Amino acid sequence: MKHVVIAPFEDNARTVLSGIKEFPTEKVVLLVPSHSMAKAREALKEFELVKVPVELVELDSETDFEEVFGKIAHIKAKEKEKDLLLNLNSTHGLLSCILLSAAFVNGIKAFEIMNEKLMVFPVLKFSYYDILSDKKLLILKSLGEHDCCDSLEDISRRLKLGPSVVNYHVYGNDKNPGLKELGIVEIERQKGKVILKVTTLGKLLLKDKLFQNRLGETAEKKR
């Protein structure tokens, strides 16, 4: 099986090419910062030599969590049913951390070459885009709109869901992780009250276009 390899591009094609040698590759999608776009176009000749088609995706800011997450989600949607790989061999620092987080959220396998050895990162086999049920999405949306909430009862009243249903989707159980365990919502107790807040990850998901589309579809179903 051939893969679609997503790889950040910084200076040259060598680090990207060294990574794709490890996997049969049908296509490379290069994430290119705006300031490196000219170099990326020049590097296309090197990919032609190995007969691998390349798509360039421009990044206005490689340190913007929201933009990078959005680009990865868009690529995943466009290349659906393809075996995706994220090549971290050609980047470092903050962008590498953001991309690894994006791989985790999207359920995409990531790899890097360290000391001439292939390292495949243990990314979860599910995608947050797939694991969140309609009710979890509605609870997350409600929390995002109000920033925080005093109690589970408040969410129950706002969404017209039973308190036990809200509790289940926030806390989850052994078989089905809730919003808290997924790292999307954090819970604090202050003066006997339960305070729920959306985490940074939750806010990124809420801003993503794929999530917004799903939220729209979920709202329609509820009507």
- What does the alpha-carbon distance between residue 66 and residue 12 come to, in Å, rounded to a whole number? 25
Percent of the chain topping pLDDT 90: 18
Query: 119 and 111 in contact (C-beta within 8 Å)?
Result: yes
Annotated domain spans of the chain: 3-121, 132-222
- Single out the residue of 202, 66, 213, 98 nearest to residue 142, CA to CA: 202
Distance of CA 56 to the CA centre of its chain: 19
- What does the alpha-carbon distance between residue 10 and residue 36 come to, in Å, rounded to a whole number? 6
Q: pLDDT at position 118, please?
A: 83
| pLDDT tens by residue, 126-151 | 667 778 888 998 888 888 887 656 67
Burial class (CB in 10 A: 0-12, 13-18, 19+), 114: exposed
pLDDT of 31 higher than 90: yes
Q: What six digits make up the tokens of 131?
A: 């694991």
Architecture per CATH, domain 132-222, reads as: Orthogonal Bundle (1.10)
- What does the alpha-carbon distance between residue 18 and residue 140 come to, in Å, rounded to a whole number? 41
Q: pLDDT at position 153, please?
A: 83
Q: How many residues in the chain?
A: 223
Q: pLDDT at position 219, please?
A: 65
Across 93-97, average pLDDT? 85
For 212, residues 6+ apart whose C-beta sits below 8 A from its C-beta are: 206
- CATH 2.30.30.30 applies to domain 3-121: no
pLDDT of 53 higher than 70: yes
The residue whose two tokens read 């030599």 is 49
Query: 6 and 27 in contact (C-beta within 8 Å)?
Result: no
Q: What six digits make up the tokens of 178?
A: 């809730």
Per DSSP bridges, beta strands 185-190 and 193-198 are antiparallel
User: If DSSP codes are grouped into helix, strand and coil, which group holds residue 196?
Assistant: strand
